[in-house]
Chains A and B, each alone.
Chain A
Amino acid sequence: MTLNFPTAFILILGGLILPFFPGSLRKLCLIFIPAVAFVHLLILPIGIHGELQFLGYTLSSVRVDKLSQIFGYVFLIAAFLNAIYALHSDDVLQQAATFVYAGSAIGAVFAGDLITLFIFWELTAISSVILIWARRTDRAYKSGMRYLITHILSGMLLLIGAIFYSKSQGSIEFTSMSLDQPGVILIFIAFGVKSAFPLLHNWLHDAYPESTEIGTVALSVFSTKLGIYALARGFAGTEILIFIGAVMATFPIFYAVIENDLRRVLTYSLNNQLGFMVVGIGIGTELAINGAVAHAFAHILYKSLLFMSMGAVLFRVGTVNGSDLGGLYKSMPWTACFCIIGAASISAFPLFSGFVAKSMIMSAALYQDHVLVWLVLLFASAGVFHHAGIKIPFFAFFAHDSGFRCKEAPPNMLIAMGIAATMCVGIGCFPDFFYQILPFAVNYKPYTWGHVLSQLQLLVFSALAFAVLMRTGIYPPELKSVNLDTDWIFRKIFRAISKKANDSVFATYTSFCSNLKSQILSLFEKIKHHHHPTGLLARNWPTSSMVMWVAIMLASYLLIYFLQFNA
């Protein structure tokens, strides 16, 4: 019995058998399964395992190195937190789907070749959409559908790209690629969809906030970070990523400021954080890659924490619209406290996890003389603090009192948030241990006077701006409205065009067919009437048209053959 099978199988199988356990035993399994998977991951030795032959290619289903290991760890930690967070729920569908989803994301991270990657890639799409549909509303169904189509398409692009790539390179190993190799651009776009590149990002803001309080937490962890992992593995040092990442880090800020649904605000800040990682991957130095990976790790923890706190609010109050909330710190003090820790982490306060990770990327940008990029990232950092660091806790827990008097979040949610919060602070205070598991050796000191001071300045002035704007009433009020994002183009204009085209084609086709039909009808009318007086077979015109097709086919074959023959 060898243990060198993909860790993914433990979670996927666990998820599939979960529904067959009765209530209390199931809760035990929820905690037990990720724990077993974690142990399995710890004992998996570095190297390539689980090779098998498929269609003449060698698949390597498990490739363990530092890069895949760290993503494996954080995905499992997140799966574990998710399981605790979902303990109170009786919705076994979501719990099972979360395990399958987490399992397939981990499977994709350890995939050593493009085919294995593709299989797990599609599996994440299919399992995650269940989490969106689990909200069981019409809106959730529709946006889940759009989400599914986008992700299946991303998988198709990956497959087509992989076919071209393997044909030209003679290998399906998933390794560093360059954009001028055939098919690689398709793979790049596929990764881009998962990592929510600008213009490919709409699914993120569309679907994630529609999921349940549990589902969104899981969703925020795996898909996008799988995209980041894939970019780090395949496209480290690809220059265009710096530009893409810079755009990605900035433009969601504007949307985040005016958005009312606080979970949607979090998806915009999620997108902006991904931008930081993409910039890091684009710079491609050891420090930058370390920074991107570290940021992904830290990000998963504090973003889960923020989504968990908003999920708890949604669970207790029933809404997360900024305009409806306020003053909840009285009812949910613990949740408010954890939310602030998450907010401090995402805003990169010194002593919190965001600081030790993000500053690596910023420094890497400076070392490579990308001053402009550095400035853009600086602006983005200020924006993050603004909308995620202040806006979320402020509107949910403070601001004007909304009058909601609810119970504190259930204990299991508090425990999950507590663990996540502890890890955020732990990483921020003791970064050395954290740096050890990064892909490259780290020779970086986050706590220098320069770093700390500049970050504090940034934060203080950003907070000042918020306070001034609020006081003077210039700050965009929280309104119930819909943000028009670029997906308006896809969803309205494209739809109108395709409908128009469809209608006109259909009209010509039907008129053509009915013409043909009526002619044949009149021709055979007499014979038909004579042979089938009962009328049962009175609609036998298709038979005659079928025969006509036979004649046409024969005539054309003969014609073509003879013409060719004489030529």
Chain B
Amino acid sequence: MLSSQLPALQVVIPLVAAPICVFFRNPRIAWLIALIASSLTFMVSIGLFLQVQQLGVISYEMGNWSPPWGIEYRVDNVNAYILLIVSSIGALVTAYAYPSLKREIDTNRHYLFWTSYLLCLTGLLGVTITGDAFNIFVFLEISSLSTYVLIALGKSRLALYAAFRYLILGTIGATFIVIGIGLLYLMTGTLNLYDLASRLGDMDLAQPQLAALAFLTVGISLKLALFPLHLWLPNAYAFAPSVATSFLAATATKVAVYLLLRFAYDVFGKSQIFSELPLGEVLLVLSIVAMFVASTVAIYQDDVKRMFAYSSVAQIGYITLGASFASQTALTASIVHLFNHAITKGAIFLLLGIVAFQIGQPTFTKIKGLGKKMPWTSFGMVLCGLSLIGVPGTAGFISKWYLILAVLERGWWWLAAMILASSLLAILYIWRFVETAYFVTDAEDNTIELGSKIPFSMATVTVLFVLACLFFGFHTEFSVDSASEAARVLLEYTRQ
């Protein structure tokens, strides 16, 4: 009985828990509620994942209104995987969060943080699970609005500014998406994604559909911070509270990538947009530019969080590069990198959260000699850095490996060389961290004053993430198999 309601519970649990946090207002209770809600959500997503593995696509009718009139929740191999990524990170970051928040946000505002956090989780999960185009817009707005709040809660006043900029851009993005959806509705008379896909497949491409695709592509590119629409991201990540950064970096852009995959391969799948239109080529070029420009910018940053934010923009380049290919291996690479990058970047920002807990906002001048003062944290950063570079034995290697395989399948060895060259840029910015943390030993060495012991919860969750970066470098059964299954499903949608 309960198992048939899982799709609804996936969204309803965090949605209901969010206002409860406001009732209590007590920071500890609000955190507990968030922890319970996010853990339950995680379990629900595991349940959904297993169900999809066994039974195939799940279709759930909201309020028993049958689709295409009612809202349908539709879970297939693709979004079951994304749901699992988002909810697992949501739960783990919550477990980590309490001491870090206490240091970074006034305790009388904690309940606001948790409310927005849960709403954001609701939004992200909702976007992923729903099978209704307008519903996507609604959930996207829920997640965006709460994200603005999460960023604005950051300690520095610059956080407000960053949130404001994201607000402007995010709103434009959402508007573009709703315009795109509106155009599609005009042409087909339906909002149900499944229905949309089959109706679009029956008609020829005409200008309104093309305009819809353009609006959707740009709107989604904004949300996923694809170059050159990434400018909101670095400040947002740099000035948000550590917990919010870890959560958003690991999940928000990933959900946007999911939307891109869903629209490009499923909704427009039968319209053959990859062969008829230069969408793939444009994505490819932008991805390559992102890989290089953002990595180069990252090298010159002074704020460590900002540096890794730019590195996220570059890593998104790898993901969209895989998505632009419409081949089994490339899509697998793209989707598996969603997962691997989520854990790697999650781990990095959690580690930076620990650094921030001890010494405040980490800048390169402040972390001199960090290797001696915080050996474990620094070592964790090195390991995650290796994964970001894509060194064998780490999760990052797996994604790059498949990406290079996909590129070589096309015979584009020059692109393989470029991927490796951009990895060299990653070595450079990771090296900057290593050099400052381990090798700079001058008189200022002693300026690092450790506040106190690292709290148990923060340490445990972070170690878990770092170990995951290594574990998924060796054991690819879960990550790669699920990703390649998802890729297979996506490619199936494009067949007539």
Contacts and interface: CB of A to CB of B under 8 A. Distances in A.
Interface in B150-208: 157, 161, 164-165, 168-169, 172-173, 176, 205, 207
B205 A546 contact: no
23 contacts: A119-B392, A152-B427, A163-B404, A537-B161, A543-B168, A545-B231, A546-B169, A547-B172, A549-B228, A549-B229, A550-B173, A550-B229, A553-B229, A554-B214, A554-B215, A557-B213, A557-B217, A558-B210, A558-B211, A561-B210, A562-B207, A562-B210, A565-B205
Given A546-B232, A549-B231, 15 more contacts: A115-B392, A119-B392, A156-B420, A160-B416, A167-B408, A543-B164, A553-B218, A554-B218, A557-B213, A557-B214, A557-B217, A558-B211, A561-B213, A565-B205, A565-B207
Contacts of B214: 554, 557-558, 561
Contacts of B24: none
A527 interface: no
Interface in A514-546: 536-537, 540, 542-543, 545-546
Nearest to B167: A543
Counting from the closest, the 10 A-B pairs by CB-CB distance are A557-B214, A561-B210, A546-B231, A554-B218, A558-B214, A543-B165, A549-B228, A553-B218, A543-B168, A546-B169
B86 interface: no
B185 to A, nearest CB: 19
B439 A560 contact: no
B278 interface: yes
Given A119-B392, A543-B169, A55 B401 contact: yes
A141 interface: yes
Contact of A550 (B157, B161, B222, B408): B222
B420 A564 contact: no
Contacts of A122: 391-392
A488 B22 CA distance: 68
Contacts of A352: none
Nearest to A115: B392
A319 to B, nearest CB: 25
Interface of B: 157, 161, 164-165, 168-169, 172-173, 176, 205, 207, 210-211, 213-215, 217-218, 221-222, 228-229, 231-232, 276-278, 282, 391-393, 398, 401, 404, 408, 416-417, 420, 427, 439, 474, 476
A55 B221 CA distance: 31
A546 B213 contact: no
Contacts of A549: 228-229, 231
- Specify which of A167, A560, A561 lies most central, judged by the most chain B CB atoms within 10 Å of its CB: A561
A547 B168 contact: yes
B156 to A, nearest CB: 12
B222 A560 contact: no
A536 B162 CA distance: 12
A123 to B, nearest CB: 10
A547 B228 CA distance: 11
A163 B231 CA distance: 36
B228 A553 contact: yes
A557 B232 CA distance: 21
Nearest to B157: A536
A208 interface: no
A541 to B, nearest CB: 11
A543 B214 CA distance: 22
A71 interface: no
A357 to B, nearest CB: 36
Contacts of B391: 122
A536 B161 contact: yes
A554 B183 CA distance: 15
- Main SS of chain B's interface residues? helix
B282 A557 contact: yes
B231 A564 contact: no
Nearest to A537: B161
A54 B164 CA distance: 47
Given A167-B408, A550-B229, A553-B228, A119 B172 contact: no
Nearest to B227: A549
Contacts of A545: 231
Interface in A121-168: 122, 141, 152, 156, 160, 163, 167
A99 interface: no
Given A537-B164, A543-B168, A553-B221, A560 B205 contact: no
A542 B215 contact: no
Contacts of B165: 540, 542-543, 546
Contacts of B393: 119
Contacts of B427: 152
Contacts of A561: 210-211, 213-214, 277
B172 A55 contact: no
B408 A141 contact: no
Contact of B172 (A115, A542, A550): A550
A520 B444 CA distance: 41
A118 interface: yes
Interface in A48-69: 54-55
Contacts of A562: 207, 210
B168 A564 contact: no
Nearest to B216: A557
B282 A560 contact: yes
B176 A554 contact: yes
A165 to B, nearest CB: 12
A546 to B, nearest CB: 4
B286 to A, nearest CB: 9
A560 B169 contact: no
- Specify which of B168, B218, B277, B420 lies most central, judged by the most chain A CB atoms within 10 Å of its CB: B218
A557 B213 CA distance: 9
B336 to A, nearest CB: 12
Contacts of A554: 176, 214-215, 218
B20 to A, nearest CB: 35
A385 B440 CA distance: 44
A540 B167 CA distance: 13
Contacts of B218: 550, 553-554, 557
B179 to A, nearest CB: 10
Contacts of A546: 165, 168-169, 229, 231-232
Given A119-B393, A141-B439, A550-B218, A560 B229 contact: no
A453 to B, nearest CB: 54
Contacts of A550: 169, 172-173, 176, 218, 222, 229
A564 B211 contact: no
A448 to B, nearest CB: 50
B271 to A, nearest CB: 11
Given A546-B232, A554-B214, A564 B278 contact: yes
Interface string A445-488: 00000000000000000000000000000000000000000000
Nearest to A566: B207
Interface string A282-304: 00000000000000000000000
Contacts of A543: 164-165, 168-169
Contacts of B172: 547, 550
Contacts of B232: 546
Contacts of B211: 558, 561
Contacts of A558: 210-211, 214
A118 B282 contact: no
Contacts of B221: 553
Contacts of B278: 560, 564
Contacts of A536: 157, 161
A368 B122 CA distance: 78
A543 B160 CA distance: 13
A140 to B, nearest CB: 12
A564 B420 CA distance: 33
Given A160-B420, A554-B218, A564 B277 contact: yes
A561 B229 CA distance: 19
A547 to B, nearest CB: 6
B73 to A, nearest CB: 30
A168 B231 CA distance: 42
Nearest to B160: A536
Nearest to B213: A561
